[in-house]
A and B are shown apart, each in its own frame.
Chain A
Amino acid sequence: MMPVFWLVSMSIKDPTTWYEPSLLPAKPTLDNYLWLISREYRARFSAHIAAGVETMWTPFINSLINAGLGTILSVLAGLSAAYAMSRYKTGGTFLPFFILTLRMLPPITVIIPITVLFSFLGLYDTNLGMILLYALFGLPFVVLLMKSFFDEIPVEIDEAAMMDGYSPLGAFYKIITPMVKPGLVVTLLFVFIINWSDFIGALLLTQFNAYTIPVYLAKISRGAFGTLYGLLSALGVIATVPLIIVGYLIQRHLVRGLTFGAIKRG
């Protein structure tokens, strides 16, 4: 927990004390946050970084859109695929593994061809492009995690549900999926976090319109005279807020999948 404390304390440090690696700020100030929020409160930092730099709202909203919608898209695409793989062996043993290999490829290898592809398709610097990219990045996570959660549930429960009159689709929606709800929300959170933190994709594939918080963070980190710790810590704190909110919201679902009358066996 200490690092969290350090981060918060760095974020309220006065610029003259930024480089002092002391635990408590001697002169606490909210100037770092104010700098990010609006161009009005930037006088103190003018020696370090120009007042004309953008505020944090554009990257913040872009991050929410790109990462959020990308995550939702990959969950939609991956959930049913995971179920199909778990129950019907779609793609056998190879397909799930193949999807995993997408994540094994170091991003450096493919990022330049992706840049070329995006500029060809007109997706460069668009929110749509980033959403598709993040959906692609998140897909392996969703498929594999959800497949393993589905695998935990014995197929007899599916059979029992269908004997009770549910169609296979209904069994999927109404019975099985709720049972893996904890896994589902956790997967959602992870994919969101991964997409939220993506840097190299956002750096090379956006410029003015769709750039996200990690790129903005890199921009405000370097001032005329070195790293601007106060600003970047403040942004770091702000950047965790949406994630914390999502994390808090999913806690409701982190309950045992028992509570709605699962079919008793034997």
Chain B
Amino acid sequence: MKWLKNPKWVALLFIMPLEVLLNLIGMFPFVVAIYLSFTNWTPVTGNWWEASIVGPQNYIKMLFDANFIRSIFLTAGIVGFCVTIEFLLGLLLAFLFLEDLLGKKILTSLAILPMMFIPAVTGYVFYVAFQSSGPLNVTLSLVLGTDIQLRWLRDPMLSFLGIVITDVWQWTPFMFLVLFSGLLALPPDPINAARILGGSGWQTFRDVQLPMLKPVIIVALLLRAIEAFKMFDIVYIITMGGPGYATQTLSLYLYEEGFKYLKMAYVAAEGLAIMLLVAIICWYAAKPLLRRTAA
């Protein structure tokens, strides 16, 4: 790789300034968060730079905090469901759109429309939809012929399902687009070769394109999972973590603890711990990504 040495400096040179600038803005809050996580600071007890370090109490406390642990598992569950469904649906759509469909441009626009909604707006729309006499129950009644009066907002299971439905509706287009553009960027030769050798559309897809698509797939899953983990607006508006604690996702929990109960130091510790946890999981999941796939 020695011949790459010179261009490397050029590359570093023109990425560095911007990267440094942006990372400086990112570093300060990060450092402060680490510092705070070892204190007992709340906005009520005084200045944050005068907060005294009390050691790793917060980290120990969070291991025994039932609400925290529950919200992690709950969020992991929601993310698991959402990302899986979104991936499968998105892959299907991407496969279908590879062909030359009639009105493809319009269809593509429609397909990616849900993503364009501000999440708060999506939240309100689905909040109305999930009411007992709301459009969703009405539609289900029409379709199934009997009077459906599901209490989406009152039943813990249905609330959970409702959140999953909303997130899938809003973010499947993301998966679709990433996978689709990944498919488009694949070099055509292996694909053409496989076609010539007699593979069907589906076989080609499965055996040739999917493996080459692996880096994109992994990135799409990672990014979507990380974003879904931070899901906030939807849950806030539709269920507000309710009923009881049924949909108390992590970001809602952190928001309440941090902004409503003012346990800022504790939230800082929890946030960092989450980051560490997610990072470790992603590191192992993404190892194949970081290995370059040879053609």
Determine direct contact between A and B, CB below 8 Å: yes
Bound-state Cα–Cα, A258 to B188, Å: 7
Q: Is B8 in contact with A84, judged by CB distance below 8 angstroms?
A: yes
Q: Is A110 in contact with B29, judged by CB distance below 8 angstroms?
A: yes
Bound-state Cα–Cα, A144 to B181, Å: 15
- Please provide the chain B residues from 1 to 40 with a CB less than 8 Å away from any CB of chain A in the complex: 4, 7-8, 10-12, 14-15, 18-19, 21-22, 25-26, 28-30, 32-33, 36
| CB-contact partner of A93 in B110, B279, B282, B290, under 8 A | B290
Q: Is B188 in contact with A152, judged by CB distance below 8 angstroms?
A: no
| CB-contact partner of A110 in B230, B233, B271, under 8 A | B271
Taking CB atoms, residues of chain A closer than 8 Å to B118 are: 196-197, 213-214, 217, 236, 239-240
Specify the main secondary structure of chain B where it touches its partner.
helix
- Among B26, B122, B226, the one with the most A-chain Cβ atoms within 10 Å of its Cβ is B26
Interface string of B258-280 (1 = CB under 8 A from A): 11000010011011101100110
Interface stretch (choices A29-37, A39-47, A48-56, A225-233) = A225-233
Given contacts A21-B135, A100-B282, A136-B25, contact A182 B271 (CB under 8 A): no
Q: Is B271 in contact with A108, judged by CB distance below 8 angstroms?
A: yes
| CB-contact partner of B268 in A107, A109, A185, A189, under 8 A | A109
- Please provide the chain B residues from 131 to 187 with a CB less than 8 Å away from any CB of chain A in the complex: 131, 133-135, 138-139, 169, 174, 177-178, 180-182, 184-187
Bound-state Cα–Cα, A243 to B15, Å: 28
* B206 at the binding interface (Cβ < 8 Å): no
Interface string of A1-35 (1 = CB under 8 A from B): 11110110010000000000111000000000000
Bound-state Cα–Cα, A154 to B215, Å: 12
Given contacts A186-B177, A251-B108, contact A149 B182 (CB under 8 A): yes
Q: Is B116 in contact with A193, judged by CB distance below 8 angstroms?
A: yes
* A60 at the binding interface (Cβ < 8 Å): no
Q: Is B219 in contact with A145, judged by CB distance below 8 angstroms?
A: yes
Question: Smallest Cβ distance from A94 to chain B, in angstroms?
Answer: 9
* A247 at the binding interface (Cβ < 8 Å): yes
Taking CB atoms, residues of chain B closer than 8 Å to A101 are: 275, 278-279
Taking CB atoms, residues of chain A closer than 8 Å to B124 are: 221, 227, 229, 232-233, 236
* A114 at the binding interface (Cβ < 8 Å): yes
Specify the main secondary structure of chain A where it touches its partner.
helix
Question: Smallest Cβ distance from A239 to chain B, in angstroms?
Answer: 5
Taking CB atoms, residues of chain B closer than 8 Å to A96 are: 290
Given contacts A108-B255, A236-B118, contact A152 B7 (CB under 8 A): no
Given contacts A88-B8, A113-B29, A256-B188, contact A236 B117 (CB under 8 A): yes
- Chain A residues engaging chain B, CB cutoff 8 angstroms: 1-4, 6-7, 10, 21-23, 73-74, 76-77, 80-81, 83-84, 86-88, 90, 93, 96-97, 100-114, 116-117, 132-133, 135-136, 139, 141, 144-145, 147-149, 151-157, 167-169, 179-183, 185-186, 189-190, 193-194, 196-197, 199-200, 213-214, 217-218, 221, 227, 229, 232-233, 235-236, 239-240, 243-244, 247-248, 251, 254-258, 262, 264-266
- Chain B residues engaging chain A, CB cutoff 8 angstroms: 4, 7-8, 10-12, 14-15, 18-19, 21-22, 25-26, 28-30, 32-33, 36, 48, 105, 108-110, 112-122, 124-126, 128-129, 131, 133-135, 138-139, 169, 174, 177-178, 180-182, 184-189, 212-213, 215-216, 218-219, 222-223, 226-227, 229-230, 232-233, 250-251, 254-255, 258-259, 264, 267-268, 270-272, 274-275, 278-279, 282-283, 286, 289-290, 292-295
A-B contact pairs, 10 of them (CB 8 A): A3-B129, A21-B138, A81-B15, A81-B19, A105-B274, A108-B255, A113-B29, A151-B293, A156-B295, A214-B120
Given contacts A77-B15, A97-B290, A104-B278, 18 further A-B contacts (CB under 8 A): A4-B114, A21-B133, A21-B138, A23-B138, A80-B15, A97-B282, A100-B279, A104-B274, A105-B33, A108-B254, A111-B29, A148-B215, A154-B187, A155-B292, A167-B7, A182-B180, A185-B181, A217-B118
